[in-house]
Amino acid sequence: MKVLVVGGGGREHTLVWKIAQSPLVKHIYCAPGNPGIAELAECVHIGAEEIETLRDFALAEQIDLTIVGPEVPLTMGIVDIFQSSGLEIFGPNKAAAQIEGSKGFSKDLMARYNIPTAKYQSFSVHADAVTYIKEQGAPIVVKADGLAAGKGVVVAMTEAQAIAAVDDIMLDQVFGAAGASVVIEEFMDGEEASFFAFTDGKNILPLASSQDHKRVNDNDEGPNTGGMGAYSPAPVVTEELHKVIVDTIVTPTIEGMEQDGCPYSGILYVGLMIKDGQPRVVEYNARFGDPEAQPLLMRMKSDIVPVLQACARGKLCQGSIDWHEKAAVCVVLASGGYPAAYEKGLPISGLTEAAAIEDLMVFHAGTALKDGQIVNQGGRVLGVTGLGDSVKDAIEKAYTGVQVIHWDKVHYRHDIGARALNR
Ligand code: AMP
Ligand code: GLY
């Protein structure tokens, strides 16, 4: 079969790498892809948000299955457009993707189906939001309602910070229309974990556990990022907790979406806060996590293509996924300065040496090819992912890869996975 992967980051490189191992697949296209992906797939110069052009391409090339990596095309309705042209596609439709696209939508869903999460209220009037903050006090969390590339959340330690965040979002409109309304919620204390489940709208197939590291610097300091590294399995998610998450969060979410006439198919990403063995939802995402996909898919033994196909067709039987016993750890190499401004176009060395290391994969995220040389192009540049018999071994493997790769001002965390070891 012919497969099209939409996107061009580390998550999509990992998906392409995993899909390429399937005996069912003859040819993979990726739009727009990146230089790492180009080693495994045919990259097509169509942006991930050019959804009509992608549909025309898929029709012309008779693509059998399309997999969407990022959230924006999902919230734009790429799935609806493909399906109305008779094309098979993996991911939620526009209505269901609101679970990520609108914080108000997801908070209301959780309230309706008693899914544990932080207490909250939505506001579209600035003065009301300020009054609520003064009533509730700090710490408190302010979120722009719409998509803000992971930057629309302010965890405010003081009332003044919270009010300043509401001013930025609602008055100065720093996130544009995404900030027309805000969700203000209770601050949750605890340990975060990411939980993923494949679903066809009815059946659920959970993945192994994982955790990422959101802050840019060691010891969880500095601003939030898209994710500076991830590992799987995550010891915080015990077998018992896994069951609680499925029973009290994932199942009621999928059943609730169906009951609301808005069935959700694809992969559901639940961001969790865990305290005293009790999970609560921080947020939902409508896609694979990045970088969580890197360690998760490196550990996945089963062929992913039949699972993706079954989700797209509404035929996910209650099977299971086989996982390698090994642990996997992904260390993100970022451009110095990220998540703020950074210099681009700097030549990267050591990729050939890293490729020769066993049980190590270097997934490209923000790279480009300039005069035959791989250079940094985005904030998160590479995801160096190692397998090992334990999390400790996988950490060593990943950092062995990190040591051989270099460019000017490269930045990475030195403590990826340490949280798992400290337990
Ligand atoms: P979100 O975009 O909703 O995932 O939020 C980004 C990050 O902000 C999360 O990964 C958490 O670290 C933090 N966060 C969001 N909501 C809360 C909350 N209610 N309490 C504590 N931290 C939160
Ligand atoms: N790792 C965080 C995300 O994918 O949103």
Cα gap 198→128, rounded to integer Å: 39
The Cα 117–Cα 280 span in angstroms is 5
CATH architecture, range 327-422? Alpha-Beta Complex (3.90)
Position of tokens 């939505």?
Answer: 122
Q: Give the mean pLDDT of the chain.
A: 95
Query: Quick one: what percent of the chain has pLDDT higher than 70?
Result: 99
List the beta strands (DSSP E) in 20-165: 27-32, 42-43, 65-68, 89-90, 120-123, 140-144, 153-156
Domain boundaries 125-180, corresponding CATH code: 3.30.1490.20
- The arithmetic mean of pLDDT across residues 113-137, rounded, is 94
Site to substitute for ligand 1 among 145, 155, 281, 292, most atoms within 8 A of C-beta: 155
Pocket of ligand 1 contains residue 138 by CB under 6 Å: no
The total of other beta-carbon atoms located within 10 Å of residue 296's CB is 27
Distances (CA, A) of 325 to 11, 345, 388: 22, 39, 9
Q: Classify 302 as helix, strand or coil.
A: coil
Ligand 2 mean position to 331 CA, how many Å?
Answer: 14
Return the pLDDT at 318.
66
pLDDT given for residue 176 in this prediction: 73
The protein residue with its alpha carbon nearest to ligand 2, atom 3, reads 289
Q: How far is CA 45 from CA 6, 41, 59, 218, in A?
A: 11, 13, 16, 37
Say whether pLDDT at 150 is over 70: no
Average pLDDT of span 3-18: 98
Q: Which atom of ligand 1 is nearest to the CA of 214?
A: 10
Tokens for 218, please give them.
């060691």
Confidence of residue 83 (pLDDT cuts 50, 70, 90): very high
2-95 architecture in CATH? 3-Layer(aba) Sandwich (3.40)
pLDDT of residue 158: 95
Indicate the CATH number for domain 191-313.
3.30.470.20
What are the tens digits of pLDDT across the range 181-198?
A: 898 999 999 999 999 999
Question: What are the phi and psi torsion angles at 289 (to 5°)?
Answer: -80, 150
What pLDDT is attached to residue 353?
98
Domain range summary for the chain, segments of one domain joined by +: 2-95, 125-180, 191-313, 327-422
Mutate to test the pocket of ligand 1, among 99, 153, 188 (most ligand atoms within 8 A of CB): 153
Q: What is the best residue among 188, 189, 195, 282 to mutate for testing ligand 1's pocket, by most ligand atoms within 8 Å of CB? A: 282
The residue whose CA has the least distance to atom 11 of ligand 1 is 282
Both tokens assigned to 10: 């580390």
Instruction: Please tell me what DSSP assigns to residue 176.
Output: G
> Are the folds of 2-95 and 191-313 the same?
no
pLDDT band at 423 (very low <50, low <70, confident <90, very high): confident
